[in-house]
Each structure stands twice: as C-alpha cells, then as structure tokens.
Amino acid sequence: MSKALDGVRILDFTHVQSGPTCTQLLAWFGADVIKVERAGAGDITREQLRDIPDVDSLYFTMLNHNKRSVTIDTKNPEGKQVLEALIQKCDVLVENFAPGALDRMGFTWERIQELNPRMIVASVKGFGPGPYEDCKVYENVAQCAGGAASTTGFDDGPPVVSGAQIGDSGTGLHLALGIVTALYQRTHTGRGQRVLAAMQDGVLNLCRVKLRDQQRLDRTGVMKEYPQYPNGTFDEAVPRAGNASGGGQPGWILKCKGWETDPNAYIYFITQAPVWAKICNVIGKEEWATDPDYATAPARLPRLKEIFAEIERWTMTKTKFEAMQILNKYDIPCGPILSMKEIAAEPSLRKTGTIVEVDHPTRGKYLTVGNPIKLSDSPTEVKRSPLLGEHTDEVMAELGYSPEQISALRTAGAI
Ligand code: CAO
C-alpha cells in the first residue's frame, strides 16, 4: 500500500530527541529519511543510557525507526561535497544543532538555496530570536522557559517538570507539521522555505491555557477552579494548580484501594456537571443532588476539597479498575493512573500499534511506542532503527558514486 509521504526525501541531520522525533514521524508516513551521522561516533544517544554494553541504546532505537543511516564527516572537504550531493537530491533538511552550527559547517540558508532552491530547511532551536537565541537547550530548560514548570506541581512546593517530553517530542511534533505545511506550499510556489520550531514556543503553545489564566487572574484576582480558592491566596502570577482540571469541570486525583503500598493506585475523577446526580448516587450522597450548597456547579466550587474527600472515601473502597467499571456505567469521566508497566502490558495498545515489539539485530526484541497518528490510507509499519552507517554504501550508490569512489572517500575519512 502507498504511504502519504512516498517520494519525499529527508536529509535528517538531527540528534538527541527533538529532531529525531520529527523525522521518525515523517518516516512513518512514508518519507525516505536519510540520517547523517558523524563518522565513527553517530548520534550521541546511541551510547547514552545503555542497558546492554556496546549495543545501540533504547534512547536511540526508540527515536530512529524506519530511517537509513549514513556516516559523513561534514567538516572534511570531500565529506562536504557528499553532503552537497545529498542536499541536491533531498526535499527537506531537518536539523537541531546548537545555534549557528550549520552555518559554521558552511551550509548557510543562502548556500543551501544555491544548491537546491526547492529545499525546505527545518530547525529546532531552544529559543526564537531574542536574548536567549544563542543558548543550547535541553528538554527541562524548555519546560522551565515555556511556562510549564512554573504552573506544574503543588502550591506549597517548587516548580516541577513533567514526565511528558513536551519540550523535545512536543517541539518535534510542531516541526513535523511545519514541514508538511511547507511541502504543501511548495506544490504551489515551487520554492523551499525555512521552518523554525523553538522549544520555548512549542512548550508555551502547549501551556496556552495558563496564559489564558494569567489574564483572567490579572482581571479578577481569583480563579475559582484552582485549589487556592477559597481559602488560599492568589499572587500575581498563575499558581501551580496541583491536580486540578484545566477546564471548567473540576477534577482531582483520588486514592483507590491499595494506595498504601501501590504508588499508582489512584484514579482521576472529574465532577462533570451533567452527571452530578449520578455521582451523588454512586457515592451514597443522594442529598447533594438537591441541596442548594451542592446542586449547582458554582455552588460546589468553594467546597471542592470537601467534595473530593467524600468521593475519595468511596474510591478507596475500590481498586482503580473496579472504580472505572462502575463510573463508566454512569458516564462519569474518570481515568486510572496507569504505570508504565501496566501500559506496556496493555493488549489494546498492542492491537492498535501504539505499543509495538520490534526486533533488532544486536539488541533483540524491545518495546517501542508506534505512530500515535493513524491514517486510514497510509498505515505505519514500524521498522527497527539503523546501525551506524548501515546504509552509507547504498545511499552513496544512489547519489551516483562508484564503488572505487566510495572506497577512496572512506580512506580519506570523509565517510
Ligand atoms: N560531521 C562533522 N561534524 C558534525 C557532524 C558530522 N556529521 N554532525 C555534527 N557535527 C558537529 C557540529 O557541526 C557541531 O560543531 P561546532 O560546534 O564546531 O559547530 C558539533 O558537532 C556539535 O553540535 P551541537 O553543538 O549541536 O551538539 P552539542 O552536543 O554540543 O549540543 C544540544 C547538543 C542538543 C544542546 C544542541 O544541539 C542544541 O541546543 N540544539 C538545539 C535545541 C535542541 O534540539 N535541543 C533538544 C535536545 S534533546 O533534549
């Protein structure tokens, strides 16, 4: 079956997490992704957090499926020529080097345009133009600078970063959308363009609701769905909201049976207004359905702490899965706190290809997260990540190099 991005060639100059997330998605949609790595070393993540000696780490394998790997020393004059040939042959160059690295290599936007005016040059950087534009940035720096950390955690604790990699994988997703959009525009204009996704911007985009809340706070001085209301105090900036729901339907994480020993025996419970009467029935507080202090959503807001404590008395008598079953019967929105162990074993996620078992020549079998975006006409087949330089000869031959030329370039250290 054909794939959505069949025929699109990506020169993948990415490393670590943000850029590789983006190009992996494009590869899953059918693009030919040629990952250019430093001869002899490769993407630094190949050797980071290794669980098996001398074998590509899970960090690397889980971010680089369906790609081909070529090794080129792009600082070697002959290596530069190989890169030039690749630029002429590809549709998109994706990179997430430190600011200025591509220019220092001699591949400025102007030079790339000369070589291939149709080329789209897509970059992840930590920051957009401004005071921090020259900074190197990793995940948690972006979470802090994009507003996620200051708004995550509990009011009486320090800022907290999230386990979700919203700075790296989140920005990779943003960049992928920018790339396919630029490819679409190119079908009309015939021209390439630059695409920039700054990690601070990507995180802030995902924290959009918190900038909304900042303006609500500026105007009214109070936000009634936040746990600080009614007894705590609001300062000038959006506070950390603990586990409160972001929207207008109050929610909280509640203990379930076994919480004393199981750190994940919890459920997320939402007191959605339309099912309030059902919630009252389930927890045995029928009178709250008609009591004016509890019957309406605005009346409940100052009493949320007491209400969730009462609901928790009920959830603590059930396991999270028992509670789910009962609450789902009544359309009460809720969700179990799932551990990674539980997620890895979940049969339905295996069935949809969201969790996939992959075989790798040196590592053996491992689990990965497959393509979370499902296209009905472009199914994803998850293929193992390439070994370092596994496709150098193959790609060089496609570029028109003869076996003798390839061998000479190898001797010169260019590939
Ligand atoms: N051949 C020769 N040289 C190569 C090469 C190749 N194939 N591939 C890369 N290099 C060189 C680069 O040209 C650069 O050289 P200079 O410093 O002399 O210009 C050098 O390798 C290192 O690149 P780097 O500065 O990007 O790498 P780093 O490990 O020092 O920094 C990171 C890593 C992630 C902090 C930085 O790349 C960055 O800020 N990237 C943008 C933001 C980003 O994506 N962050 C997410 C990272 S995931 O948490």
Q: Whose CA is nearest to atom 28 of ligand 1?
A: 98
Q: Which residues are annotated as a binding site for substrate?
A: 247-249
Q: Which of 47, 62, 136, 201 best tests ligand 1's pocket when mutated (most atoms within 8 Å of CB)?
A: 136
Please state which of the four CATH numbers 3.40.50.720, 3.40.50.2300, 2.70.98.10, 3.30.1540.10 is assigned to the domain occupying 251-332: 3.30.1540.10
Query: Given this model, what pLDDT does residue 1 score?
Result: 84
Mean predicted lDDT score pLDDT of the chain = 97
* pLDDT (tens digit per residue) in 367-415: 999 999 999 999 999 999 999 999 999 999 999 999 999 999 999 999 9
Give the whole-angstrom CA distance, residue 195 versus residue 186: 13
How many angstroms separate the alpha carbon of residue 58 from the centre of ligand 1?
20
* pLDDT (tens digit per residue) in 69-96: 999 999 999 999 999 999 999 999 999 9
Check whether 231 has a pLDDT greater than 90. Answer: no
Check whether 39 has a pLDDT greater than 90. Answer: no
Check whether 232 has a pLDDT greater than 90. Answer: no
Q: Using an 8 Å Cβ cutoff, are 96 and 15 in contact?
A: yes
Mean pLDDT throughout 192-218? 98
Q: Choose the catalytic residue: 43, 73, 168, 201.
A: 168
Check whether 20 has a pLDDT greater than 90. Answer: yes
Comparing 9-205+347-412 with 251-332, is the CATH topology the same?
A: no
* pLDDT (tens digit per residue) in 127-145: 999 999 999 999 999 999 9
Query: Given this model, what pLDDT does residue 40 score?
Result: 84
Residue 213 annotated in active site: no
How many angstroms separate the alpha carbon of residue 159 from the centre of ligand 1?
28
Q: Whose CA is nearest to atom 5 of ligand 1?
A: 38
Check whether 268 has a pLDDT greater than 90. Answer: yes
Burial of 287 (0-12, 13-18, 19+ CB in 10 A): exposed
* pLDDT (tens digit per residue) in 145-184: 999 999 999 999 999 999 999 999 999 999 999 999 999 9
Query: Given this model, what pLDDT does residue 248 score?
Result: 80
Query: Given this model, what pLDDT does residue 306 score?
Result: 96
Query: Given this model, what pLDDT does residue 185 score?
Result: 98
Provide the pLDDT confidence category of residue 16 given band limits of 50, 70 and 90.
very high
* pLDDT (tens digit per residue) in 284-324: 999 999 999 999 999 999 999 999 999 999 999 999 999 99
Q: Which residues line ligand 1 (CB under 6 A)?
A: 16-19, 36-38, 72-75, 96-98, 101, 104-105, 124-126, 136-139, 168
Q: Whose CA is nearest to atom 19 of ligand 1?
A: 101
Fold of 9-205+347-412: Rossmann fold (3.40.50)
Query: Given this model, what pLDDT does residue 144 score?
Result: 98
Contacts of 47 (CB under 8 A, 6+ apart): 57
Query: Given this model, what pLDDT does residue 294 score?
Result: 97
Check whether 360 has a pLDDT greater than 90. Answer: yes
Check whether 247 has a pLDDT greater than 90. Answer: no
Query: Given this model, what pLDDT does residue 404 score?
Result: 97
Q: Taking the domains of the chain in order of start, what are their residue ranges?
A: 9-205+347-412, 251-332
* pLDDT (tens digit per residue) in 90-125: 999 999 999 999 999 999 999 999 999 999 999 999
Provide the pLDDT confidence category of residue 27 given band limits of 50, 70 and 90.
very high
How many angstroms separate the alpha carbon of residue 66 from the centre of ligand 1?
22
How many angstroms separate the alpha carbon of residue 98 from the centre of ligand 1?
5
